[in-house]
Amino acid sequence: MFSQVKFALLDSFSRVLTTLARFLPGVVALFLAVGLLALVGAALAWAVRTVLTRMRFDERVARENSAGVSDWAPAHSPSLLAGRIIFWVCVLLGLAIGISAYDAAGTSDIAPYLLPYLAHSVGALLILIAGTILSRYLSRSVLISAVNAKLNYARALSLGVKWLVLIFTGAMVLDHLQIGGLIVELSFGILFGGLVLALALAFGLGSRDLVARSIERTADKATPIDRTAERASETPRSLRHF
């Protein structure tokens, strides 16, 4: 009996050690690939940043694109952005190579499943970043426009827009990651539809006069007006800004 127990234990020990021996090289290869490519990425990013700085790339972009893409993320210079993109592309490449090496070590067969999911994750991350930047941009735009239109509820309006975009982004990210399935779609549809309906009702019922005046003004602008008649109809203003 003892010999059987001993045999079972040794057999189990041997199996665990064998599995570990097959598993470890794959893990080491994974970490090695990620580490090496991260180092390569850091070196490439540094080189690109140095070259771009010497070429005065940031100043050229600022001069030639005064209202362009760089305005959307003003805290970062274009050369820093280019360096970071290169670094993270290298890290992701290292991760993909590492996972393939892990599979090649014969431990598992996860690469065919994990790599497409990794690509989806990158896509989801990009959507999340874009959504966050867009929400910040739109909320500030709405806030400033509402303040300049002298609306007391400017902050509430801005927060509403921010969360609307963030919810929309969250739903897109979850959908992209295939998490939640129909639940996300349904709940998002109900939430978004409900919000739009509530806003439409609030706007329609609360601001009928305002909308009517706005439409009248738009109609007036669309009709060509004789300049003299327009000037005569203008109410006298005591202040002239320009």
12, 14, 50, 141: residue in contact with another protein (rule CB under 8 A)? 141
209 belongs to the binding site for another protein (CB under 8 A): no
10: left (phi over 0), alpha (psi -120 to 50) or beta: alpha
Contact between 218 and another protein per CB under 8 A: no
Q: Mask 151-180, x = binds another protein (CB under 8 A)?
A: xx-xx--x----------------------
Give the nearest distance from C-beta 68 to another protein in angstroms.
10
Taking CB under 8 A as the criterion, the residue among 7, 31, 72, 203 binding another protein is: 72
Cα distance between residue 157 and residue 168, in whole Å:
17
Q: Which is nearer to another protein, 4 or 148 (CB)?
A: 148
Compare residues 84 and 155 and give the one whose CB is closer to another protein: 155
- C-beta neighbour count of 230 within 10 angstroms: 10
Please identify, among the stretches 17-25, 35-43, 189-197, 232-240, the one whose residues bind another protein according to the rule CB under 8 A: 232-240
Considering beta carbons, is residue 54 or 227 the nearer one to another protein? 227
Whole-number minimum distance, CB 135 to another protein, in Å?
13
Residue (15 or 76) nearer to another protein, CB: 76
Residue type for 111, please? A
> What is the maximal distance between C-alpha atoms in the chain?
114
The answer to the question of residue 232 lying near another protein (CB under 8 A) is no
Task: Map the footprint of another protein across residues 76-135, applying CB under 8 A.
Answer: none
In the chain, which residue ranges form alpha helices assigned H by DSSP? 2-54, 57-64, 78-104, 111-148, 154-176, 182-206, 208-222, 227-233
Contacts of 133 (CB under 8 A, 6+ apart): 72, 73
8 A C-beta contact, residue 208 and residue 216: no
Residue listed under structure tokens 């969360």: 163
Task: Select 21 or 239, whichever has its Cβ closest to another protein.
Answer: 239
Residues 6+ apart with CB under 8 A from 162: 135, 136, 138, 139
Which residue ranges make up the site for another protein (CB under 8 A)?
A: 62-64, 66-67, 70-72, 74-75, 137, 140-141, 143-148, 150-152, 154-155, 158, 221, 234, 236, 238-242
